[in-house]
Amino acid sequence: MKRRTFLDRLVGLAVLPLTLTELPLASAAVDSNSIEFLQANWRNLLSVSATIATDTTPLELDLKKWRNRLSPEAFNVLFEEATERPFSSDLNEEKRSGIFVCRACHLPLFSSEMKYDSGTGWPSFFVNIPGHLKTKNDFKLIWPRTEYHCVKCGGHQGHVFKDGPKPTGDRWCNNGVALRFIPAD
């Protein structure tokens, strides 16, 4: 692992609060039925004129083509599994209604109603759009973590932790540079 990457991750760990279970959600009280509704009706946040591909068939582009399409920072996070610095993304403060899509392939991953302020410095979500993310074990640090990727392009988005708010208890901690926000209006 590169020394810079290790130091960035170490600094990121230092800003994590001990518990996130009592943090308020972006939307009002959320229960299991509400989560199912959010997951099933995220398209309602798109304007009528918005055209977003929702096909999850994997893309087969080589890394050179992805490098040409993305900024160096986005490429490093998405295809070299780097982590951006905490509090560096404008999406951390994004409060408008809309959809968060993969920066590389534009597949919708989260809605604004799934977002909450985790206090960690990265955009965080308590649930995701079903079938649009895949997980794998990550052993890059001392203890194993669950890493997640876009199912369409394979781009690394972030890690999911079990210290999120009720009712899911999940914190889908995303690199802001790996996302693009499409406002509802």
Give the whole-angstrom CA distance, residue 112 versus residue 45: 8
Contact of 133 with 110, CB cutoff 8 Å: no
Placement of tokens 């001392």 in the chain: 142
Structural domain tally of the chain?
A: 1
101-133 per-position pLDDT tens digit: 999 999 999 999 999 999 999 999 999 999 999
Indicate the pLDDT class of residue 162, thresholds 50, 70 and 90: very high
Whether pTM exceeds 0.85:
no
Q: Mean pLDDT, the chain, as a whole number? A: 80
102 is catalytic: no
Give the whole-angstrom CA distance, residue 170 versus residue 178: 19
Question: What local confidence, expressed as pLDDT, does residue 52 receive?
Answer: 67
Contact of 115 with 168, CB cutoff 8 Å: no
Q: Which of 102, 105, 153, 173 is catalytic?
A: 173
**And the tokens for 179?**
């996302």
- Give the rounded distance of the alpha carbon of 157 from its chain centre: 5
Query: Quick check: 177 pLDDT over 60?
Result: yes
70-85 per-position pLDDT tens digit: 999 999 999 999 999 9
Range of the domain at 71: 3-183
19-65 per-position pLDDT tens digit: 323 333 444 455 656 667 666 666 666 654 455 667 888 888 889 99
Phi-psi region of 3 (alpha: psi -120 to 50; beta: other; left: phi over 0): alpha
Which domain CATH number covers 101?
A: 2.170.150.20
Give the whole-angstrom CA distance, residue 66 versus residue 78: 9
User: What average pLDDT score do residues 153-164 get?
Assistant: 95
